A and B are shown apart, each in its own frame.
Chain A
Amino acid sequence: MSRSLAICRSLLLVPALLLPTLSQAHGPTPQKVDEEIAIAASPDVVWGLVGDFGAIAAWHPGVKEARASGGNEAGKAERELTLANGERIVEGLDEYEAEKRMLGYRLSRENHAAMPVSFYSATLEVVDDGKGGSVVKWGGRFYRADTGNFPPEHLNDAAAVAAMTDFFRSGLESLRVVAEKAP
């Protein structure tokens, strides 16, 4: 416990207030992605594809390669994704509920060149549509890459929303094609 806290008593207010700041941490303004798709394949078939945390490259066109460890154990499993642009990110599995066909994960190593976000958490769930098919819901909460108050265009909220929405949507569309072709 430190009793001697540095006190910045002599900050000149005006210059300090006008300086843009860059933080390595994610900022306080979360953004949302919320996508879903109907698939003419049984929930078990769809979960067979998405329920293997490390096997995302088998159905997501934006993932060239996934190197996984820890299986599907929440709190342990990780996957390092090489995206279409050759850049890598690492995601960690937080929740895994096979009975509910639901998993939750987070970004554990950011890379703005791969994805212009500083952090995200996301949930993917396969819901029985009651008619033999499935609805897959994939949503998440994330923060732009540059969490300062003056982000350049390629690192701002709009860039983050566009990238995440595209990743989720293209993944779901491809998942539908793969699942509907499955035996």
Chain B
Amino acid sequence: MRGFYPHYGAERTCGPVRSSSSRYCLRALRQVALLLLTFGLPGVVAAGELAWITNQTAGTVSVLDLDALQVIDTVDVPDGPAGVAVTRDGSRVYITHPDLGLVSEIDAATRKLVQSIEVGGSPFGIALDERDRRLLFVTDWSRHILIVIDPKKGIPLDLLAVGQSPAGIVVDELARRVYIADRESDTVTVLDADVARGFAQIKVGSHPFGIAFDQAAKRVYVGNVRSGSLSVIDTADLKETAQIPVGEFPYGIAVGRDGKVYVANQRDDEIAVVDPATASVSGRQSVGRYPDGVAINAAGDRLVVANWFDDSVTVLSLPGLETLARIEVGEGCRAFGQFIGPAPPVP
């Protein structure tokens, strides 16, 4: 089996290749100049964490500083950015463009587009695998496949069949599994992260879309848009163990450090807090209209939600659900994926 199928994680390589020292110095100088332009004063400490908000209609990505609670930059990207994933070290941001069949890469330090990888179809949901070498797993809404991409080489490595119109995707890096919400076939497809092999197709509610993974609890959560429910999947036996009613049109989902699940109910204009222990909604907080993508920062004290209809994001405190800020971003913000990462180290 392993010999026959490609083994995506076979080669071990490291991150970005360093250029020669003189070019490196030049780049560093340029970076200092950019920082001075951005912040006005020298000595300003770089932000702790950044949120990368894809604005699908505007064709831009808003860079939100989670300490200052303001947009510090707007990056021009190819049309229709939707899905987003940030590397663990915060150095790179990957964006899907469903209408163009592209996956693009942003250098987080320079906030510039590095490359756009042609993959075809309608690439939508995106998740990173960084255990060995870096891989991108991207769902293709219109061809009903998973695209495996090597961003270093800038090419797709494989196309794998999944359910109909796959949307949200998460990777369990330790157990080497990929979970995909198949919106039109009401299933979650579970694939091997290393070889072309499927484990299961799990029946969930109607129109599963957003998905989140809780490593500690060994659970995957899926929002069923039409059923208005959250499916709980046990990653040990790959079965749906509960379906919890949450509200109208659940879209983005994120898991807090307390194990609670935060769901953007798009037609209720709210974040619902789901307590898996009691299988019930333990709180609700109004946000902007048609909330879409949701993510929680590493410290677990900030939740960011993209209000698609209002072209804004709301930042909530956790666990208090206090509205800390409502910040204007670009038109048609989606932020579908894990869009928060540490501010990149200054080169």
Contacts and interface: CB of A to CB of B under 8 A. Distances in A.
Interface in A22-56: 22-25, 27-32, 34
B315 to A, nearest CB: 23
Nearest to A139: B309
Contacts of A13: 156, 159
Interface of A: 1-9, 11, 13, 16-19, 21-25, 27-32, 34, 94-95, 104, 121, 123, 139, 141, 147-149
19 contacts: A1-B200, A1-B201, A3-B199, A5-B189, A5-B198, A8-B159, A8-B160, A9-B196, A16-B159, A17-B119, A17-B121, A21-B122, A25-B165, A28-B122, A29-B98, A94-B267, A104-B248, A104-B267, A141-B308
A49 B118 CA distance: 51
Nearest to A23: B142
B249 interface: yes
B145 interface: yes
A2 B196 contact: no
Determine chain B's interface SS by DSSP, over half rule: loop
Nearest to B96: A28
B276 interface: no
A161 to B, nearest CB: 11
Given A21-B143, A27-B122, A139-B309, A3 B198 contact: yes
Contacts of A21: 121-122, 142-143
A22 B142 CA distance: 7
A117 B249 CA distance: 19
A34 B57 CA distance: 15
B332 A32 contact: yes
B161 A32 contact: no
A146 B290 CA distance: 23
A13 B155 CA distance: 10
Nearest to B118: A17
A95 B267 contact: yes
Determine chain A's interface SS by DSSP, over half rule: loop
Given A121-B267, A139-B309, A7 B142 contact: no
A139 B202 CA distance: 35
A68 B145 CA distance: 40
A16 B144 CA distance: 12
B337 interface: no
B327 interface: no
Contacts of A31: 57
Contacts of A23: 122, 141-142, 165
A2 B162 CA distance: 12
A18 B160 contact: no
A157 B313 CA distance: 24
A19 to B, nearest CB: 8
A152 to B, nearest CB: 15
A143 B142 CA distance: 14
Nearest to A104: B267
B124 interface: yes
Contacts of A139: 289, 309
Nearest to A12: B159
B145 A8 contact: yes
Contacts of A123: 267
B56 interface: yes
A134 to B, nearest CB: 20
A29 B334 CA distance: 10
